[in-house]
């Protein structure tokens, strides 16, 4: 499964690169050269550019969405790790609070003993 996903991702990346190279070639045609073409050819150029650009955007988006799904899969563990850090901090603070509580307890005992003396 993992290998298949990895293979699909590589295929997607290769397709994007190939389409990108084709788009650059299409756009490399100079305005003067395009102006010199018959109207039908110019319109075909515009349609080819449209098809290529939309395909590139859609493939890039699909590639990013695959990656986003991987982020989402790891999100619960990351959130749990952050929560655990907050608990660690609270636990450290509790240790200090316990020493303070012991101090108060000793003081109380002292006061009681002083009253009884």
Partner 1 sequence: MGRFHSILGRASLVTGLLLCFLMTGCVGPTQTLQQGTDLCDAGIQYTDALDELLDVTIETVIDYDSDELIRQRRYADPNDLRGFLDERNKALTEQVKTLEMFRSHSRRLRAYFTSLGELTGATLQGSATAAVENLSGSIAAANESLRDSERVDLNDEERIYLSKLGGLVAKGAHAGVVRAALRRDAVVIGQQLVLHEKLMAKLAGILEDRYAGQRDTIGRQKVRKPYVSTDQSVGDGWKNDRREWIRSGFYLDELTKATEAIRQMRYVWAGILEGRQDAHSVQLALNDIHDFTQATTALHEAGKEKED
Q: Which is nearer to partner 1, 1 or 81 (CB)?
A: 81
Determine if 4 is a binding residue for partner 1 (CB under 8 A).
no
* Cα dihedral: 64, 70, 73, 79 (round 10): -80
Under DSSP, is residue 105 helix (H, G, I), strand (E, B) or coil? helix
Least Cβ distance, residue 1 to partner 1 (angstroms)? 17
Distances (CA, A) of 46 to 24, 30, 34, 58, 116: 13, 13, 10, 18, 101
Q: Which is nearer to partner 1, 8 or 50 (CB)?
A: 50
Distances (CA, A) of 67 to 19, 26, 43, 63, 100: 20, 30, 36, 7, 50
Site for partner 1 in 55-114 (CB under 8 A): 56-58, 60-61, 63-65, 67-68, 70-72, 74-75, 77-79, 81-82, 84-86, 88-89, 91-93, 95-96, 99-100, 102-104, 106-107, 109-110, 113-114
Could you say which of 5, 11, 18, 42 contacts partner 1 (CB under 8 A)?
Answer: 42
């Amino acid at each position: 499964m993992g290998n298949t996903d990895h293979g699909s991702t590589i295929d997607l990346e290769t397709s994007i690169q190939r389409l990108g190279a084709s788009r650059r070639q299409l756009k490399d045609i100079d305005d003067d050269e395009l102006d010199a073409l018959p109207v039908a050819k110019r319109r075909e150029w515009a349609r080819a550019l449209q098809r290529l650009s939309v395909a590139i955007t859609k493939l890039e988006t699909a590639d990013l969405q695959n990656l986003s799904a991987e982020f989402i899969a790891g999100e619960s563990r990351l959130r749990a790790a952050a929560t655990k850090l907050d608990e660690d901090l609270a636990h450290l603070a509790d240790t200090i609070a316990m020493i303070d509580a012991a101090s108060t307890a000793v003081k109380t005992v002292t006061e009681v003993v002083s009253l009884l003396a």
